[in-house]
Structure 1
Amino acid sequence: LLAVFIYVNLLNYMDRGIVNGRGGGGSNGTCNFNASVVPRRGIAGSFHINETAQGVLAGSFMGGYCIFSPIFAHLSTIHAPFRLMGLGLTAWCVACALGTMAPTYNALLTARILSGIGEASFQCIAPCFIDDMATASQKGKWLAAFFMAVPIGQALGYTYGGYMCSQMDPEKIGFAGWRMAFALEGLAMVPVAVAFLSRQDSESYLSSPAQAVRDEYTIVKSLKTIVGNPIWVCTVMGYGAFTFSVGAMAVWGPTYLQMQLDDADLAFGSVAVFTGLFGTISGGFILDLVTRVLGRDAMSNSLLVSATLVTLAWPCCFLAFSATEYRKFIFFMIVGQFLAFATTSPVNGVLLWCVPAEVRTLSMALSVVGIHVLGDVPSPVVVGAM
């Protein structure tokens, strides 16, 4: 089951990477080191949109996510969670189909919003299943395995979208490469959606409390419990600031390098795959190790590990974008992103463990909404307009 969850998470974030990378590349081209203009064949090239509109498209999925994530989280306490995830993934597949056929920018924007609805059910329910399945000594590793799909999926989306665009010339075949990228990922998700819809499971979680206890947590009481928790609020605010930087860097980092777009996507994709894989896994191992050594509760250790890693990561990322040489940029970016991605498992552990078990799904749903609203939804637009 963990492998299936990782697979779905990987496809979800590949989808975002297609829009953020060359798949969403602009129409005006990019100057390389030889001062020549490299044309783009991505979404912005197809619809002739500017950088601000491209930034809006990159964050548009959050429109559907923000509205439906809390709804799915609450429904998961009273309805079969796999059915809910199956419904969401079905909507995601439909969004991929609509994106493939989108005749205009607005039509594609609508499809991207629908994809956010599809993600909402899975992203708020799956981590809680993993938390239930893993033993106390393995929670960090299991969460790390699940969340490593975030950077790796984004990076694969960069590379996958860029490859499809470079191999399919719309002037010759009449079909843009980014459309085929959406179509193939949608087909890859169909078997999982069908399996989840047909699965016979209990009405709620493996370790959910009794119905009488669940009934005490109405949606209003659950919201008050979560937003009234200072640890949860501070964690979301800090994670949102982190996501703001990562989101802007993911969308505009290749353009900032001012090299051939193929090379920029390859450089960013390669660094993100390496640091995302080893950084995220390392964070899970570090958390489990610190928990065994210090013997304190996992949430306190997660806060300690997250704060330490972020403190070490931000100077490296600053030095990377201050570097005047490509090699220095790559070195500091690798170190900085490795440390930053290592926080993924600990910080999500905090969001799971700082609230009562009865509201974990809503905690995860609201936290994802919070970090994206504060982070990578506005950052591509803000940086694109600068």
Structure 2
Amino acid sequence: MAEEEGLPGDLRIKVINMAIDSTSLSEPAPSWFTPKRLLVVFCVINMVNYIDRGAIATNGVNGSPRSCTESGVCSDGSGIQGEFDLNNFRDGVISSAFMVGLLIASPIFASLAKSINPFRLIGVGLSVWTLAAAGCGFSFDFWSITICRMLVGVGEASFISLAAPFIDDNAPVTQRTAWLGIFYMCIPTGVAVGYVYGGVVGSSVGWRYAFFGEAILMLPFAILGFVMKPLHMKGMSNEKKLPSSLNEEVTEHNSKEHSSYGSFTSNQLSRFWQDMKALLSEKIYVVNVLGYIAYNFVIGAYSYWGPKAGYSIYQMENADILFGGITIVGGIVGTLGGSIILDRMNSTIPNAFKLLSTATFFGAIFCFSAFCFSNLYVYVVLFLIGEILVFATQGPVNFICLHTVKPSLRPLSMAMSTVSIHIFGDVPSSPLVGLLQDKVDNWRVSALVLTSVFFLAAGIWFIGVFLPSVDRYNEDDENPSTLTEQSNKSSNKDKKGKQTAVVSPEP
């Protein structure tokens, strides 16, 4: 690689970054850890993550509060709620406590992914998750289990912001949304399996053993995060070995950059705020996340209060299993169906918004109608159709998050999307629905009020159809021919004392 000192600073840095990307992309993929196996591993991790969400919501694990009859006869209740004597509001707080860890850790993990191997970050996070899940089983009061749930959020943060960009990078171009759909299908599937798992384990051997079992399931993947050979993530350098000349250039550039900000920490913070400004300037991204917040407000409360509401309204004998069955069928069919439909429509941002708004609107109609009927079988049919429609959004909504920003911002875009939908969506929804139920003491009314928020989500996503959009998937990629032309013009322009350069990345 020929180079001189005369290339302008900004262009020189761009050329170095381009060479870094070309060098890393030229490396062969690990022989065993193929893209399909990557998808499988990430799907299993995601499923275990959401098995935990389903299990803590079940009657077998969450239980029922202590109660007393008019004659003064009191019952001890069952599960977490009974053992720690929690009202519905405090019980809802437990379901939302993970958000504290998620809120703090997600931006940190997303920013560190630019300089530290993302697979190692996932290993750290899943190790924390494993210990926290076991800690839930050992908890002795409301505050101890709440702190453990916060640490569960830290573990989720390391994984959720990095998994989707890896999948989108390695999926076949014509099947990107379908691969994302398979990954996000594990959310409703995991919750549904968690309902059954929590109900069976909690009822048979006790709620604490449900958390111990989750920790055992996650432990191998925490170890795998430290030992497996990573794949390259688009837009990230991640410890790639560079030619010696480029190493010198990058080292010199980094040392100057660090000294200008005073320290590595201040440099990281400065870069984070710059990335956040770039992220929030994308109107399409903001509209998409706002719709996702409203959508998740409903889904989060459904997943937590669903079994209890179903048991109260329809006297379901096996509420955990029945609600889990509806969720798993609706989740698998809806998520895969929506993703495949978007690929067939041609995966574009406007088409994704059309699918989001249409599916959510009609899903809201069916779910709302389901709670209006007293017959259990009518409810099951209508609610199942509604679940299929609302889960059709999972692939398209995350496709928009990934493709409205340049590749180097995708981990942060996923992290902030996840933080936003939780902190403004399912975190307040579970306690608020619990508070509403404490006031009205009617699960049918509470369910109808909650379901109406789906219409708001559909309306917000409908706005996105009319906004101008640009797919920025390849925006970080520089055009080598353009840079070479610029360099050649500089070198051939004049030899009278001007320093010139021709720079072309090594293959």
Q: What's the TM-score, normalizing by structure 1?
A: 0.90
Residue by residue, what CA displacement relative to the aligned partner does 1:312-350 show, whole Å, maximum 9, x if unpaired?
A: 111111101111211121111001000000110001111
Aligned match of 1:66 in 103, 109, 114? 103
What residue is the counterpart of 2:322 in the other structure?
Answer: 267
Computed over aligned residues only, the root mean square deviation of the Cα atoms, in angstroms, reads: 2.4
What residue is the counterpart of 2:500 in the other structure?
Answer: none
- In the alignment, residue 242 of structure 1 is paired with which amino acid? Y
Deviation of 1:210 after TM superposition, in Å, equals 6.2
What residue is the counterpart of 1:189 in the other structure?
Answer: 218
Q: Distance in 2 between matches of 1:191 and 1:247?
A: 28
Aligned match of 2:410 in 351, 360, 381? 360
What residue is the counterpart of 1:174 in the other structure?
Answer: none
- In the alignment, residue 278 of structure 1 is paired with which amino acid? V
Deviation of 1:159 after TM superposition, in Å, equals 1.2
Change beyond 3 A, Cα 1:232–1:302: same
Structure 1 alignment gaps of length 5 or more:
31-36, 169-176, 292-296
Deviation of 1:302 after TM superposition, in Å, equals 1.4
What residue is the counterpart of 1:276 in the other structure?
Answer: 331
Change beyond 3 A, Cα 1:39–1:302: farther
Q: How does 1:86-125 map to 2 (within 5 A)?
A: 86-125=123-162
Deviation of 1:254 after TM superposition, in Å, equals 2.6
- In the alignment, residue 270 of structure 1 is paired with which amino acid? G
Q: How does 1:287-366 map to 2 (within 5 A)?
A: 287-291=342-346, 298-366=348-416
What residue is the counterpart of 2:464 in the other structure?
Answer: none
Secondary structure at 1:83's aligned position in 2? helix
What residue is the counterpart of 1:236 in the other structure?
Answer: 289
Residues 302 and 346 in structure 1, CA contact (< 8 A), matched pair in contact too: yes
Q: Distance in 2 between matches of 1:298 and 1:192?
A: 34
| Bigger mean CA deviation after superposition, 142-151 or 12-21 | 12-21
Query: Does residue 163 of structure 1 match 2:200?
Result: yes
Residue by residue, what CA displacement relative to the aligned partner does 1:81-114 show, whole Å, maximum 9, x if unpaired?
A: 0000000000000101111111112111110000
Residues 26 and 50 in structure 1, CA contact (< 8 A), matched pair in contact too: no
Change beyond 3 A, Cα 1:329–1:80: same
Residues 27 and 48 in structure 1, CA contact (< 8 A), matched pair in contact too: yes
Aligned match of 1:25 in 50, 63, 82? 63
- In the alignment, residue 349 of structure 1 is paired with which amino acid? F
| Bigger mean CA deviation after superposition, 113-122 or 307-316 | 307-316
What residue is the counterpart of 1:142 in the other structure?
Answer: 179
Change beyond 3 A, Cα 1:289–1:255: same
Residue by residue, what CA displacement relative to the aligned partner does 1:116-168 show, whole Å, maximum 9, x if unpaired?
A: 00110100000000000012101011001100010011111111111112212
Change beyond 3 A, Cα 1:40–1:138: farther
Normalized per residue, the structure richer in helix is 1
Q: Distance in 2 between matches of 1:184 and 1:262?
A: 25
Residues 235 and 351 in structure 1, CA contact (< 8 A), matched pair in contact too: yes
Secondary structure at 1:185's aligned position in 2? helix
Residues 276 and 341 in structure 1, CA contact (< 8 A), matched pair in contact too: yes
Structure 2 alignment gaps of length 5 or more:
1-37, 69-73, 239-249, 258-266, 437-507
Change beyond 3 A, Cα 1:39–1:251: farther
Q: Which has the larger Rg? A: 2
- In the alignment, residue 378 of structure 1 is paired with which amino acid? P
Residues 145 and 281 in structure 1, CA contact (< 8 A), matched pair in contact too: yes
What residue is the counterpart of 2:39 in the other structure?
Answer: 2
Change beyond 3 A, Cα 1:93–1:153: same
Residues 41 and 165 in structure 1, CA contact (< 8 A), matched pair in contact too: no
Q: Distance in 2 between matches of 1:242 and 1:78?
A: 34
Deviation of 1:40 after TM superposition, in Å, equals 5.2
Kindly report structure 1 stretches of 4+ aligned residues shifted beyond 3 Å.
37-40, 209-217, 259-262
Change beyond 3 A, Cα 1:354–1:182: same
Q: Distance in 2 between matches of 1:201 and 1:336?
A: 39
Residues 41 and 166 in structure 1, CA contact (< 8 A), matched pair in contact too: no
- In the alignment, residue 325 of structure 2 is paired with which amino acid? S
Q: Distance in 2 between matches of 1:9 and 1:29?
A: 37
Q: Distance in 2 between matches of 1:56 and 1:9?
A: 23
Residue by residue, what CA displacement relative to the aligned partner does 1:204-245 show, whole Å, maximum 9, x if unpaired?
A: x43225698999992111101111211111111111111111
What residue is the counterpart of 2:227 in the other structure?
Answer: 198
Secondary structure at 2:173's aligned position in 1? coil
Secondary structure at 1:24's aligned position in 2? coil
For these two proteins, the number of residue pairs brought into alignment is: 366
What residue is the counterpart of 1:285 in the other structure?
Answer: 340
Q: What's the TM-score, normalizing by structure 2?
A: 0.69
Q: Distance in 2 between matches of 1:382 and 1:278?
A: 30
Q: Distance in 1 between matches of 2:85 and 2:330?
A: 33
Residues 141 and 284 in structure 1, CA contact (< 8 A), matched pair in contact too: yes
Query: Does residue 382 of structure 1 match 2:432?
Result: yes
Aligned match of 1:80 in 114, 117, 127? 117
What residue is the counterpart of 1:250 in the other structure?
Answer: 303
